[in-house]
Amino acid sequence: MGFLTDLIERLDRDLHEHPLDDLALMARASSMPPVRDLEGALRAAAPPALIAEVKRASPSAGVIAEQANPSVLARGYEAGGAAAISVLTEPRHFHGSLADLQAARSSVSVPVLRKDFLIHPSQVIEARASGADAVLLIVAALTDTQLRALMEAARDLGLAALVETHSEEDLRRALDTDATIVGVNARDLESLDVDVAGALARVGRVPEDRIAVLESGITTRADVDAAMEAGASAILVGEALMRADDPARAVRKLLWRELST
């Protein structure tokens, strides 16, 4: 059994055994500050727009920065020029939490994305109740019916959706929806292998009126250049920034806003 299949089966079981309280979450969501516009932020940024990620660990890399302070990281990312912040909230494999999301959101003025494995509309409400401005929706984890239901739930709450694809079939399904932000991830979520060349080939097939976000495998300026040349208008970077001693400077160097020394 692959990574994604195993995770989704476990998550589906957990949500059935311990359902979220939609009424309580909606009450919390209604008290949150106004939603920040992720799509607008990505379109307004000098290309490539950067979504900088707070990620303590991953199943492929193991522990990256277990003791990282999400507030400090988010402020550094914003100071360096990131257009938005992504925060992993999945606890088992990525060591994330909604508390990390809340800490990051309260520390910056740019939009903050909840990055997790969302399969039920209740999780979208939970994201908004925790302050998220946007959610990640992984096409491979969802049926077409689920994908549209989660997109509708996000829209009803004013949240943007980054609709993430990992294959040609995923991309076809994403483009069959009205998703305006389409992620093209180089990582196979079953094997966890990375195919940057394949992702670069796919990202150019995202129509120009949508925001194409290249994800995974970006560590250097050369990678950023390749992403832009292939047609990406935005990039999402996590591990390379998490391993940097100075997050703000790492962002500036990646975006060609500071010369290497």
Q: Which CATH number do you get for residue 111?
A: 3.20.20.70
Residue 145: what residue type?
T
Q: What confidence category does residue 20 fall into, taking pLDDT thresholds of 50, 70 and 90?
A: very high
Residue 35 domain-assigned (yes or no): no
Determine which one of 58, 107, 167, 216 is catalytic. 216
Q: Decide if 215 is catalytic.
A: yes
Report whether pLDDT(89) > 60.
Answer: yes
Q: Decide if 66 is catalytic.
A: no
Higher confidence at residue 246 or residue 67?
246
Domains: count for the chain: 1
- Spatial CA neighbour of 90 closest among 138, 131, 57: 57
Q: What confidence category does residue 259 fall into, taking pLDDT thresholds of 50, 70 and 90?
A: low
Burial of 161 (0-12, 13-18, 19+ CB in 10 A): buried
| Predicted local distance difference test score (pLDDT) of residue 66 | 80
Report whether pLDDT(158) > 80.
Answer: yes
Residue 203 domain-assigned (yes or no): yes
Range of the domain at 237: 3-30+44-254
Helix (H, G, I), strand (E, B) or coil at 159: coil
Q: Decide if 185 is catalytic.
A: yes
| Angle CA 46–203–233, to nearest 5 | 5
Residue 38 domain-assigned (yes or no): no
Give just the sign of the alpha carbon dihedral 4, 206, 203, 101: negative
Report whether pLDDT(99) > 90.
Answer: yes
Q: Decide if 17 is catalytic.
A: no
Q: Decide if 164 is catalytic.
A: yes
Rounded Cα distance between 212 and 184, Å, is 7
pTM, entire model: 0.95
Determine which one of 58, 130, 167, 185 is catalytic. 185
Determine which one of 86, 90, 107, 115 is catalytic. 115
Q: Decide if 253 is catalytic.
A: no
| Predicted local distance difference test score (pLDDT) of residue 261 | 46
Q: Average pLDDT, stretch 129-135?
A: 99
Rounded Cα distance between 136 and 147, Å, is 11
Q: What confidence category does residue 170 fall into, taking pLDDT thresholds of 50, 70 and 90?
A: very high
Average pLDDT, the chain: 96
Q: Average pLDDT, stretch 2-29?
A: 96
Residue 60 domain-assigned (yes or no): yes
Residue 260 domain-assigned (yes or no): no
Q: Decide if 190 is catalytic.
A: no
Residue 82 domain-assigned (yes or no): yes
Q: Average pLDDT, stretch 122-143?
A: 98
According to DSSP, the residues that pair with 54 across neighbouring strands are 87
Q: What confidence category does residue 257 fall into, taking pLDDT thresholds of 50, 70 and 90?
A: confident
Residue 114 domain-assigned (yes or no): yes
